[in-house]
Amino acid sequence: MLRLHDTRTRRTEPVVPQGARVLRMYTCGPTVYRPAHVGNLRAYVFADLVRRVAERRGLRVIACQNITDVGHLTDDADDGEDKVLAQARREGRSPLEVARHYEDAFFRDTLALNIRRPEHTPRASETLDLMIELIARLIERGHAYEAPGGAVFFDAASFPSYGEISGNRLDQLKPAHRIDAVDERKRFHADWALWKPGEGELTWDSPWGRGFPGWHIECSAMSLRYLGDRFELHTGGIDLRFPHHEDERAQSDAATGHEVVSRWAHNEHLLFDGRKMAKSTGNVVLLSDVAAEGLDPLAVRLALLEHRHRQQMNLTWDTLRAADRTLRRWRRRVAQWAESPSRPIDPDRARPVEQALDDDLDVPLALRLLRDLERDESVEPGSRFETFLHFDHVLGLDLSSEIGKVPVLPPGAADLLLQRERARAAADWAASDRLREELSGLGVAVADTPDGQVWTL
């Protein structure tokens, strides 16, 4: 059974109860005002990996991932301008044009990374009715209050267990870093906006006047609508743990009267060349930049899989090039093994890989075990072929993409290559040399590499 580290309980726990057949999971989606960089994309590779492992374990996964196209301000502390609106002004386009442009770009990138599209991808701008209804319910239950001017705030003090995800308890929270940024309409400085008054583009009518929703209320409204008032897993980047996920949990639980999300799982930050990826530091890397370097976009996926999701990761161009070489080598090897007769997967080799994946997604260990299998010439090529393709359903690396592109071996050559692999494994160098000569006579040139023999016609 798949187990993940729960950020709230600080324990590694099963993602679903014993005997469950469905996993419902919510992932905080992109704010579509700029291209997603590879640091942003780590969260979606993580969620996709959870989905793939769960499905291999027989679970039906129902995933929801929102599109934030309104309400996310340039300062997460309920201040500043809407990010989409600000970008629209810079680009001289309408907010709708900007949002749809970057939404399309995001889905192209996720497709290039073999990230499966969730069953539900609601847009914030198209689900305002859900948010207004939820805000009204929170007011009715005494967890939110109207303020002068048409604002509505969540009453943080009305939710005593606030802080269980991040450890930031209400009695320890201090006012915003700019003391003049504290809204005097708030009863308590840690309260946050559910509805903000405003005019112009990206505003709507509501019972409290014209305005727009707060960022946090969007995810509560959409997850409750599409996954129900109890679901198993919520994922996202570690930067969302506070305040976004704390606020979201408080809203959802206060509205329903019970714990809505069973497990909270977060992936750590991605650094590039030792620094957090940011426009201000000039080290933002897009997936298009990776392709421009001649690297397969799935090299990014493999590089991300080489690290545990809960570990901060430092990505470099050298790391990406190494991942690209591994990816291409594995595809060649799978194509070569495809020329041999199929053989069953050895359960003693597959089981440790499955256990690693189930153990809080220890993909680095799973990859090391597969590398060991790749080099183990005592295992039939047909068995290695079946094993690699079996786990590629989880890894999502398109390892079968070179099958059929490898030149066809002459009759008898595949058997000679297999004999030579076994001779090398047994350190029978005389037989290895003799078989190389026989293969050469058939027009097959064989070279020995640290990763095994490779052949060309």
CATH number of the domain at 61, please. 3.40.50.620
Tell me: is residue 64 an annotated ligand-binding position.
no
Query: What pLDDT does 79 receive?
Result: 75
Position 374: which residue type? E
pTM of the model: 0.88
Domain ends where: 220, 243, 267?
267
Q: Determine, yes or no, domain membership for 372.
A: no
Q: Mean of the pLDDT values across residues 103-116?
A: 98
Q: Does 397 map to a domain?
A: no
Query: Among positive and negative, which fits the CA dihedral 338, 341, 344, 349?
Result: negative
Mean per-residue pLDDT, 242-262 = 98
Transcribe 287-354 into DSSP letters. HHHHHHTT--THHHHHHHHTS-TTS-EEE-HHHHHHHHHHHHHHHHHHHHHTTSPP----HHHHHHHH
Q: What is the mean pLDDT of residues 126-144?
A: 98
Q: What is the pLDDT of residue 278?
A: 77
The verdict on residue 158 lying in a domain is yes
Residue 178: pLDDT above 50? no
Say what the pLDDT of residue 184 is. 83
* Mean pLDDT value across residues 43-64: 97
Mean pLDDT of 344-351: 96
Of 369, 342, 341, nearest to 353 by C-alpha is 369
Measured distance between the N- and C-terminal CA atoms of the chain, rounded to whole angstroms = 46
In a domain, 340, yes or no: no
219 marked as binding residue: yes
Residue 185 lies inside a defined structural domain of this protein: yes
pLDDT tens digits along 392-442: 999 999 999 998 876 778 889 989 998 998 999 899 999 999 999 999 999
Q: What is the pLDDT of residue 277?
A: 83
Kindly tell me the burial class for residue 403, based on how many C-beta atoms sit within 10 Å of its own C-beta (0-12, 13-18, 19 or more). Answer: middle
Last residue within a domain, chosen from 241, 267, 293: 267
C-beta of residue 444 within 8 angstroms of C-beta of residue 420: no
User: Quick check: 323 pLDDT over 60?
Assistant: yes
Q: What is the pLDDT of residue 77?
A: 64
Cα–Cα distance measured from residue 271 to residue 451, given in angstroms and rounded to the nearest whole number: 30
pLDDT in tens, 310-319: 999 999 999 9
Going by pLDDT thresholds of 50, 70 and 90, the confidence category of residue 128 is: very high
**Range name among 174-183, 353-362, 374-383 with the lowest pLDDT average:** 174-183
Q: Percent of the chain scored above 70 by pLDDT?
A: 97
Q: What are the pLDDT digits (tens) for 191-238?
A: 999 999 999 899 999 999 999 999 999 999 999 999 999 999 999 999
Q: Cα separation of 26 and 349, whole Å?
A: 33
Angle, helices 381-395 vs 363-375, to 10°: value is: 160
Helix (H) or strand (E) holding 102: helix 95-112
Nearest to 248 by CA among 26, 17, 3: 26
Predicted pLDDT at 181: 55
356 lies in a domain? no
Q: How many independent structural domains does the chain possess?
A: 2
Q: Is the pLDDT of residue 328 over 80?
A: yes
* Residue 279 annotated in ligand binding: yes
Closest CA to 6 of 235, 298, 333, 312: 235
Domain range enclosing 250: 3-267
Name the pLDDT band for 457 (thresholds 50, 70, 90): confident
Assign 160 a pLDDT band (cuts: 50, 70, 90): very high
User: Residue 376 pLDDT more than 80?
Assistant: yes
**Domain end: 267, 293, 321, which one?**
267
Q: What pLDDT band is residue 176 in, cutting at 50, 70 and 90?
A: low
CA–CA dist 76, 216 (Å, integer): 10
For residue 177, pLDDT beyond 60: no
Q: Is omega for the bond preceding 14 within 30 degrees of 0, making it cis?
A: no
The answer to the question of residue 451 being in a domain is yes
Strand pairing partners for 233? 25, 263
